[in-house]
Chains A and B, each alone.
Chain A
Amino acid sequence: MRISPRGLWWLKGGLHIAFILPILYLAYLVLSDNAGGDPVQYIIHFTGMGALNSLLAALLVSPLAKYFKQGLLLQTRRLIGLYVFAYATLHITAFISLDLLFAWAFLLEEVIKRPYILVGAVAYSILLLLSVTSFMMVRKKMGKRWQQLHNWVYLVALLAPIHFYWSVKSEIIEPSIYIVICVVLVYLRKQKLAKYLPQG
């Protein structure tokens, strides 16, 4: 059975709810003083994990669509991708405003000196580019280059879990699992990506 356009409409609605609910939940935790003794760290971690999980969801769409032969599923990718960007924006905004308290000079120094922040910054820059070019109008104008640009999401898929791995003090098991999952998701595209790799 194929997903009908109406089914897709419901699916998209469900996805919106699934991605918005955690943000409301976070807001509730913070406002009710239930986000721990230091809500700043809680918010940064929560939104970071939200971005990473949304990214996994986005990358799962096309393997699922292929496997179940549900081409219409591909139409959910833009929606999910924009939530990745939304979570990442909340993450970085919380870091800059609540943790660094807008100490810009310090931020620049941090980005240059700390590999995990640099990696996060590169990943976010790519997400920003993908988001601003996500409109249909832009997509049409860009033609073939649009797909080339959007393939950079696979780099994000490798950088984001590394950023997580490098940022923790010692709890590397969970970030390691993320790295493995992301590598698998990228590996599934090996044929598509092969042409970008040096032939040898």
Chain B
Amino acid sequence: MSTTTSVRPDAQRPAAAQPLLDVKDLVVRYGRGRKAAAAPAAVDRVNFSIAPGETVGLVGESGSGKSTIGKAILGLQKVSGGTITYEGKDITSAGVSQRRALGSELRAVFQDPNSSLNPRNTVGSSLAEPLRLRGVGAADARQRAEDMLERVGLPRDAVDRYPSQFSGGQRQRISVARALICDPKLVVCDEAVSALDLSTQAQVLNLLADLRDERGLGYLFIAHDIAVVQFLAQRVVVLYRGQVMESGPAAAVTENPRHPFTQALVAASPVPRPAEQAARREARESLGVRTGAAAVPAPGGCPFRLRCPLATDLCATERPALRTVGGSAVACHYA
């Protein structure tokens, strides 16, 4: 799982012995008490790591736990089990002071550009907040905010304006600027482009790619759209109901998916070429994956078994372990 077979030329860096981020056996449960303990976990023993400068994509349907994993890494969600290690330090349950120390290296870009900036603060004051918190002077912080705005393609005088004076795409650029203003090493992008129109989405994706190449950033890129992930990520982790179904190099997972769920996910993503899309549709229908509306499977076994065309009795009793198939790791007894 740590091998990166396909890397963009300029994103390739000397392989570091220590991963930037390492998530081990992560478990997150919502709620408290006996009832919550009996319910399936929102995130169920998830493992993955991100090397410095690497982009890992986290894909899955809504409710697959992908955003929850991002929140757990950022300290916004309590973790029920497992560990999250950042540069060798355990940050699973970091307190406010450790978070503050971490806050300049580990940052986030969220989905909704309308709510990720405080509408009552000027853009400059939102950008300066993380710097001021770390003791940067007001004039210096303003200078850096202006520089960063210029870098993301906005005018310098945007510092004195309010978020409502910008379009959705521009606001998302401001969010990116805010995430990158204190030179982080890892940015968690939680559906960072899914609220944007095509052309704006492309602008922000390009910006994220440029900044990564410029600064050697690592990204955890969380998205439901596998094509978007494929553009940016070197490795992809596919989640279903809180469990990893498949993970591996982006090209392998998206072009040659092994797990029945990944196959369904890839086949369902429509392409804007009518003839090819018709073929894909037929391929998807021939997969025989059942609709997701079926009842929630009981805990234990494979979470996908009720929809899976390959499922047998074994799938109901034994949770498939991740095993290497081709270039990827796949959690399926029959892949």
Question: Do A and B actually bind?
Answer: no
